[in-house]
Amino acid sequence: MGDHTPLTVAVADTRLRALEHVARSGPAAERAKREAADVERWEARRRGRHVRLWVVELEVRAAACDAVEAAFRLSRYVRRPLHRIGDVPVLRWTGTPELTTAEDGGPVSYPSGARACRHDRAPFGELERVHVAAYVRGLALARLRLSNRVAGCSEPGNGDPKPGSPYPELGLWQVRHRVLCLAGPGEAPARAAELAETIVDDAGRVAARVVGLRADDGYRDGEGYRVHPAATLLPLAATALWDDYDAAEGDIGSSSAVADVLARAAVAVWKTFLDEARSVFR
């Protein structure tokens, strides 16, 4: 980092504040020492690389008959952004699905078996199981599509078609995710696009779009010190961010890497759903 970038200033300010409180006690001193420790761990993982924290905002849409089904299709086990290290809840915030009247003109998939299961709308019931199973198939189709693209082969056909007159009760619902990731110079748009590509519809097509992208370089507090973003993160989140970036650094934007993420997710989503369903009904 340069000598006067916000992050460099934040590191210097954090160290200065820690020195000022080194012989003191009390809440302010404990906070200064804790923030200094967080920033030093961050700097140790950064290893001199020019990397910043970014906030990616993704919009995801899916067809559903009502809010309950929309939650099954947008905010519980499916259509969640995936980092290179997998599904990391501490690195994202997910909103509540909302009905939208927006028209994007694209195809909208819906599993054909879901309609017959709407009598069982409880969490982990038949309806949610159908949607999770359909999403797992969608992840597998997306992985195959990307793998074929890398190999120069033709792409597989789509899954269930766009609902028309057979599904007049369906509406288009959307949800937004705010996702944290790390990126070096010029890498942020590719990292955001990669996160969007890990969210697919039941036919394996990309179901998310990037609607926001901004760097988080911390902020100035009331005393004029620059607070480093590492001081605002849970230690678990900071560790996950660097584990993810270390995994992605060499091939950001790689279709084969995203295909690997999708392949692991297809197994993990189904296993997580079944394990948590068993724990509820045990």
Are 65 and 197 members of one domain? yes
Whole-prediction pTM: 0.90
Q: What is the DSSP string of the chain?
A: --TTSHHHHHHHHHHHHHHHTTT--SHHHHHHHHHHHHHHHHHHHHTT---EEEEEEEEEEEEESSHHHHHHHHTSSSS---BTTB--GGGEEE---EEE-----S-----TTSGGGTT--STTSHHHHHHHHHHHHHHHHHHHHHHHHHHTPPPPPPSSPPP-TT-TT-EEEEEEEEEEEEE-TTTHHHHHHHHHHT-B-TTS-B-EEEEEEEEE--EE-TTSPEEPGGGGS-HHHHHHHHHHHHHHTTSTT-HHHHHHHHHHHHHHHHHHHHHHHHHHH-
Are 44 and 178 members of one domain? no
Per-residue model confidence as pLDDT tens digits over 101-139: 866 656 788 998 998 998 898 999 999 999 999 999 999
Q: What is the pLDDT of residue 76?
A: 93
Nearest Cα to Cα of residue 241 among 32, 92, 94? 92
Q: What is the pLDDT of residue 32?
A: 81
Residue 21 lies in a domain: yes
Are 141 and 41 members of one domain? no
Residue 121 lies in a domain: yes
CA-CA distance, 29 to 190, in Å (whole number)?
40
CA-CA distance, 100 to 234, in Å (whole number)?
34
**CB-count burial class (<10 Å; 0-12, 13-18, 19+) for 108:** buried
Residue 238 lies in a domain: no
Are 227 and 168 members of one domain? no
Are 205 and 250 members of one domain? yes
Are 207 and 95 members of one domain? yes
Per-residue model confidence as pLDDT tens digits over 244-264: 999 999 999 999 999 999 999
The number of distinct structural domains making up the chain is 2
Residue 191 lies in a domain: yes
Are 133 and 189 members of one domain? yes
Residue 240 lies in a domain: no
Are 107 and 129 members of one domain? yes
Residue 157 lies in a domain: yes
The number of residues in the chain equals: 282
Are 58 and 99 members of one domain? yes
Residue 1 lies in a domain: no
Residue 224 lies in a domain: yes
Are 39 and 151 members of one domain? no
Q: What is the pLDDT of residue 165?
A: 37
Ranges under pLDDT 50 in the chain: 159, 161-165
| Range(s) of the domain holding residue 58 | 54-216+245-281
Are 103 and 139 members of one domain? yes
